[in-house]
Structure 1
């Protein structure tokens, strides 16, 4: 295979979510891939074939060279990526690394796993390829085991903790992070304390459910904000700078005058490009694609990265990501939230596309209000926060009439919640 030379004189980065396994050894009730009416996985191979891996390696290496990407971050997802087996995973990483042989420093690997299949063989391979690890865990057993069960209906918390302990025993893997799905019936503080105090984890993120306006139950929408606020307050009370919570860091950076957030998990935005590669090599740039005809999208075997980035599909996502929904035009939090607070899927509806506020809009507003009030209490000037909030940096999506929307200029009051 031809190796690629990646230009290093710019800041373009490429994040590639690779669905190495389109099956899972556990059966989470909230899983959007298997248990929310989605059946697309049935038409795809359970494990990404070697031929697709070879095509993916060519696609990424040559594509990175063509666009001048300085960093290529391959994140193995599923299903459960460890179902591919440690030996095959080793081969996959070898194929990808060979494709970038002249620029291996730009290539990084990560994996999101349920950690129930961790073994000595897996640890050896993960160490070999310096794979960053994120573990899916929703808190203590009484929370986690409600939704994250095995195929026999048994809770998986004990197996997950065992996998975490095994990986923490490896110096190379000891910095693993955790991802918890937000559940409005649970206490964010209890989850935070379990992950940090109980398991010794230091890198955390919390994911709002991947629902759209078409699928979300708005009658039961309350409680998400309480969870996020509890996590924030537990983090602030702990006062440990070594503990990082992604959504907290992003909110603080925005409110304290940092750059507006880039919704980098779901879209192409600026110079951070995010792709999703299914087990058959199909390409996506957003999970909202679910349910659309597969033929409408490209495959790593028959297109280039540049060609894919030039498609109407990607252009629509890029445009939506750079504009806030019409309804958000007068919202003082818009520069930070960008209409979705990081998940474009939460803006989507079949009727209006991405021209909707997040389904969690009211809850996100409450969270921002509490964080802003906390900053003021800690000595940050209210005027500097309001200046950041009101900076007219984002455009507005066209209204239903086709006329461009306009940013509001209303001030923002900061009130503790």
Structure 2
């Protein structure tokens, strides 16, 4: 005890022991599963930016990386005794490789965390690769779908086009 107060065994808690400074464990993880996109959005910070290093990176997350990420998430869940987390499966366009990699990633994380932890998985997509069979497979696996649209048709088409310059709204609506 120092000054009548018990010290926390780990720094920085002893110094920062106020409600505003108590560590809060992560409960949401954004996982980039595919690094390419089939759209050519005018505002994209990755594909329209000055840094073109994405060209030299793998299109999909490698399986060892996926496994290690799931292990690290599971470690975090166990350390903080979490009963629920969210994983957001992002890209580029995460469905460019079809639904199988997305399903595998969600399953890998769910298998890695303790059974006492509920994993809510969402795939964030531009919608151009959504088909009835894909939606059925995602639903059967308990994976939610987040659809990225830029307002209505006119606003969306002004900012989002495919690689040939065609508006993306028709593909997203299909």
The TM-score range, normalised by the shorter chain, is: 0.7 to 0.9
Structure 1 contact 13–71 (Cα < 8 Å) conserved:
no
Secondary structure of 1:83's counterpart equals: coil
User: How many angstroms apart in 2 are the aligned matches of 1:103 and 1:43?
Assistant: 39
Structure 1 contact 21–78 (Cα < 8 Å) conserved:
yes
Closer, same or farther in 2 for the Cα pair 1:68/1:41, shift >3 Å?
A: farther
User: How many angstroms apart in 2 are the aligned matches of 1:98 and 1:70?
Assistant: 14
Asked if 1:102 is matched to 2:115, the reply is yes
Equivalent residue for 2:41, pick from 28, 31, 40? 28
CA RMSD of aligned residues (A): 1.8
Equivalent residue for 1:49, pick from 62, 78, 81? 62
Asked if 1:145 is matched to 2:137, the reply is no
Q: Which runs of 5+ in 1 are unaligned?
A: 1-10, 163-417
Structure of larger gyration radius: 1
Asked if 1:86 is matched to 2:96, the reply is no
Superposed counterparts of 1:375-390, under 5 Å = none
Flag the structure with higher helix content.
1
| Cα deviations by residue, 1:94-130 (Å, 9 ceiling, x for unpaired) | 21111125224x2110121100101233112210222
Structure 2 contact 102–123 (Cα < 8 Å) conserved:
no
Asked if 1:63 is matched to 2:80, the reply is no
Secondary structure of 1:98's counterpart equals: helix
User: How many angstroms apart in 2 are the aligned matches of 1:80 and 1:40?
Assistant: 17
Which portions of structure 1, spanning 4 or more consecutive aligned residues, are displaced by more than 3 angstroms? none
For normalisation by structure 1, the TM-score amounts to 0.35
In the alignment, what sits opposite 1:135?
147
| Cα deviations by residue, 1:188-230 (Å, 9 ceiling, x for unpaired) | xxxxxxxxxxxxxxxxxxxxxxxxxxxxxxxxxxxxxxxxxxx
User: How many angstroms apart in 1 are the aligned matches of 2:73 and 2:153?
Assistant: 40
| Cα deviations by residue, 1:223-248 (Å, 9 ceiling, x for unpaired) | xxxxxxxxxxxxxxxxxxxxxxxxxx
User: How many angstroms apart in 1 are the aligned matches of 2:136 and 2:114?
Assistant: 22
1:68 is displaced (CA, Å) by 2.9
Superposed counterparts of 1:238-277, under 5 Å = none
1:13 is displaced (CA, Å) by 4.5
Equivalent residue for 1:121, pick from 109, 133, 142? 133
Superposed counterparts of 1:2-401, under 5 Å = 12-104=25-117, 106-162=118-174
Q: How many residues align?
A: 151
Secondary structure of 1:72's counterpart equals: strand
Secondary structure of 1:109's counterpart equals: strand
Higher relative contact order (CA 8 A, sep 6+): 2
User: How many angstroms apart in 2 are the aligned matches of 1:139 and 1:98?
Assistant: 37
